[in-house]
């Protein structure tokens, strides 16, 4: 059985030379995409991941340290004499990893715990948006069962019920069925003590990842995720089943409104805090039929799988950008982009998102494409090697096949050609990624 290989734009498998030492925290497809972007950076010296996955082990060194072990992560960064730590997931940020790294004098891409509450608490984020006049849906906090019916009466269906907990995109119920909304409110109340009922925004979703510090910000190419597990956006929500960028729904005029009405006020708010926000502000948007943007959510990190289609479009030095942000120098950094499009299709384990069958061998023959300006390759996520060196699945989202090309259609075809060559028993993927752009 041949393990799937990976080569990226420059075909750079592993580097260890003078230059920056970077530790990437996390082990998903997003972190593999970050490692590949770092490997492509002229300023990079060596790349380390904690804990990483099969893909990150092909571009750097994996360390078996969990993303929840803040003390061990600090020791590892100190031991490596890391110039920069890039934090992928939100949980360690909410738990104060960035604060501890900065106390230890280590540069960190990712906000402090207080900044991370923009994702850690949807109620906090909503209050910040309301205070700043940022466009977003109205919201009610339901604190007792007796208030449920009146709350449901105050919004039109469909209803949006949100638990105020970190739930990897799965703590939200959107339904036009009043009984289902009632049940979701009751369940949230009994587990968390309160639950949010939010005004439903209609339109098309998009994500804008903004690299931000107190000196300035850079908006990366807008992307669109596919959150539902099934074709045509049906079935339960997942962490994301595929994405593409740039998303045509975010026209230059829409992007200007996003900047003026959302990013600018957020930047002004965050730059004036005692401790500056340094990291990615993920703006989750609904764009209505008039092109007006409304915020659905903020995240305090790069999106997954949005990162897999955004990083490959950056043509300038990614390591330099992330370090500049960690040091509060974004406004002095030149960031450039390819004019290409990218698409990624997630391969999920049997049972995902309800459950995930893991430990199965992944095999494949043709997993890289390079034809003129069209490229196809794999971003690994929940993957590992077994004792015999076989590539095996170890999570719900196993990998994603990514294509880049001058046109979105070429990027989508390349991604599907790659995923068509991969075998994993019981796995599934959506066959309609980027349908809105095609």
Give residues in contact with ligand AMP (CB under 6 A): 137, 160, 169, 172, 174, 198, 200-201, 205, 227, 237, 284, 286, 296-297
Residue 92 interacts with which of ligand AMP, ligand GLY, none, CB < 5 to 8 Å by class: none
Q: Which does 304 bind (CB under 5 to 8 A by kind): ligand GLY, ligand AMP, none?
A: ligand GLY
3-state helix, strand, coil in the chain (%, to 5): 30, 30, 40
Return the one option of ligand AMP, ligand GLY, none that residue 110 interacts with (CB less than 5 to 8 A, by type): none
d(C-alpha 238, C-alpha 218), whole Å: 28
Residue placing its CB nearer to ligand GLY in the complex, 299 or 333: 299
Q: Which of 168, 414, 129 is nearest to 296 (CA)?
A: 129
> What sign for the dihedral angle of Cα 312, 8, 227, 233?
positive
Q: Residues in contact with ligand GLY, total (CB under 6 A)? A: 7
Q: In the complex with ligand AMP, which residue's Cβ is closer, 41 or 307?
A: 307
Query: Does 242 sit near ligand GLY (CB under 6 A)?
Result: no
Could you say which of ligand AMP, ligand GLY, none residue 201 binds, taking C-beta under 5 to 8 angstroms by partner kind?
ligand AMP
Write the DSSP symbol of residue 275. Answer: S
Task: Determine the angle formed by the axes of helices 264-271 and 122-132, rounding to 10 degrees.
Answer: 100
Please identify which residue in 31, 213, 214, 225 interacts with ligand GLY, judged by CB under 6 A: 225
Contact partner, 90, from ligand AMP, ligand GLY, none, Cβ < 5-8 Å per class: none
**Beta bridge mates, 405:** 341
Paired with 399 in beta bridges are: 347, 380
First to last CA, the chain: 36
Q: Which of residues 278-337 bind ligand GLY (CB under 6 A)?
A: 299, 303-304, 306
**In angstroms, what is the minimal distance from the CB of 34 to ligand AMP?**
21
Please give the Cα distance from 206 to 227 (Å, whole number). Answer: 11
Confirm or reject binding of residue 119 to ligand GLY (CB under 6 A).
no
Q: Which is nearer to ligand GLY, 225 or 317 (CB)?
A: 225
What does 193-244 look like in DSSP terms, one character per residue? S-EEEEPPP-SEEEEEEEEEETTEEEEPPPBEE--EEETTTEEEE-S-SEEE
Residue 172's binding partner out of ligand GLY, ligand AMP, none, with CB under 5 to 8 Å set by partner kind: ligand AMP
Q: Does 223 bind ligand GLY (CB under 6 A)?
A: no
Give the pairing type, strands 20-26 and 44-51: parallel
12 or 174, CB closer to ligand AMP? 174
- Choose the one of ligand GLY, ligand AMP, none that binds residue 299, judging by a C-beta under 5 to 8 angstroms depending on kind: ligand GLY
CB of 223 to ligand GLY, least distance (A): 9
Give least dist CB 328 to ligand AMP, A.
29
Q: Of the two residues 63 and 257, which places its CB atom closer to ligand AMP in the complex?
A: 257
Long-range Cβ pairs for the range 95-100 (8 Å, 24+) = 95/68, 95/70, 96/70, 97/25, 97/70, 97/73, 98/278, 98/279, 99/275, 100/70, 100/74
Helix and strand counts by DSSP (H, E) for the chain: 13, 25
383 makes contact, choosing from ligand GLY, ligand AMP, none, with CB < 5 to 8 Å by partner type, with none
Q: Does 169 bind ligand GLY (CB under 6 A)?
A: yes
Q: State the minimum distance, in angstroms, from the CB of residue 379 to ligand GLY.
A: 13
Q: 227, 235, 180, 177: which is closest to 204 by C-alpha?
A: 227
- C-beta of 21 vs 237, nearer to ligand AMP: 237
């Amino acid at each position: 059985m041949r393990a799937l290989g990976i080569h990226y734009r420059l075909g750079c498998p592993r580097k260890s030379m003078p230059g920056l030492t970077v530790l990437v925290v996390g082990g998903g497809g997003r972190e593999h995409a970050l490692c590949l972007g770092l490997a492509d950076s002229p300023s990079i010296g060596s790349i380390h991941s904690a804990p990483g996955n099969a893909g990150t082990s092909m571009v750097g060194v994996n360390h078996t340290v969990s993303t929840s072990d803040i003390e061990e992560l600090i020791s590892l960064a100190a031991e490596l004499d890391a110039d920069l730590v890039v934090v992928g997931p939100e949980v360690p940020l909410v738990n104060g990893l960035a604060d501890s790294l900065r106390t230890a004098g280590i540069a960190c891409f990712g906000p402090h715990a207080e900044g991370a509450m923009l994702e850690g608490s949807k109620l906090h984020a909503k209050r910040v948006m309301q205070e700043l006049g940022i466009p977003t849906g109205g919201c009610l906090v339901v604190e007792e069962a007796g208030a449920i019916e009146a709350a449901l009466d105050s919004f039109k269906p469909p209803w949006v019920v949100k638990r105020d907990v970190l739930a990897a995109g799965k703590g939200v119920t959107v339904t036009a069925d009043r009984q289902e909304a009632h049940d979701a409110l009751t369940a949230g109340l009994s587990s968390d003590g309160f639950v949010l009922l939010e005004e439903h925004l209609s339109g098309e979703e998009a994500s804008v990842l903004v690299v931000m510090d107190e000196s300035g910000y850079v908006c990366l190419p807008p992307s669109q995720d596919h959150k539902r597990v099934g074709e045509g956006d049906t079935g339960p929500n997942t962490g994301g089943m595929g994405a593409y960028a740039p998303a045509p729904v975010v026209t230059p005029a829409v992007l200007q409104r996003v900047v003026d009405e959302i990013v600018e006020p957020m930047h002004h708010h965050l730059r004036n805090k005692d401790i500056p926000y340094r990291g990615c502000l993920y703006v989750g948007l609904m764009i209505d039929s008039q092109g007006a943007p409304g915020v659905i959510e903020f995240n305090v990190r790069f999106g997954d799988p949005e990162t897999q289609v955004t990083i490959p479009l950056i043509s300038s030095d990614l390591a330099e950008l992330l370090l500049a942000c960690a040091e509060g120098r974004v406004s002095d950094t030149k960031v450039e982009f390819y004019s290409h499009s990218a698409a990624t299709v997630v391969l999920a384990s049997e049972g995902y998102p309800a459950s995930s069958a893991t430990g199965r061998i992944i095999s494949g023959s043709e997993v890289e494409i390079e034809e003129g300006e069209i490229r196809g390759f794999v971003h690994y996520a929940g993957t590992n090697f077994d004792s015999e060196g076989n590539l095996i699945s170890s999570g719900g989202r196993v990998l994603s096949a990514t294509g880049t090309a001058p046109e979105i259609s070429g990027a989508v075809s390349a991604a599907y050609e790659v995923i068509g060559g991969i075998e994993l028993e019981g796995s599934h993927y959506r066959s309609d990624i980027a349908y809105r752009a095609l």
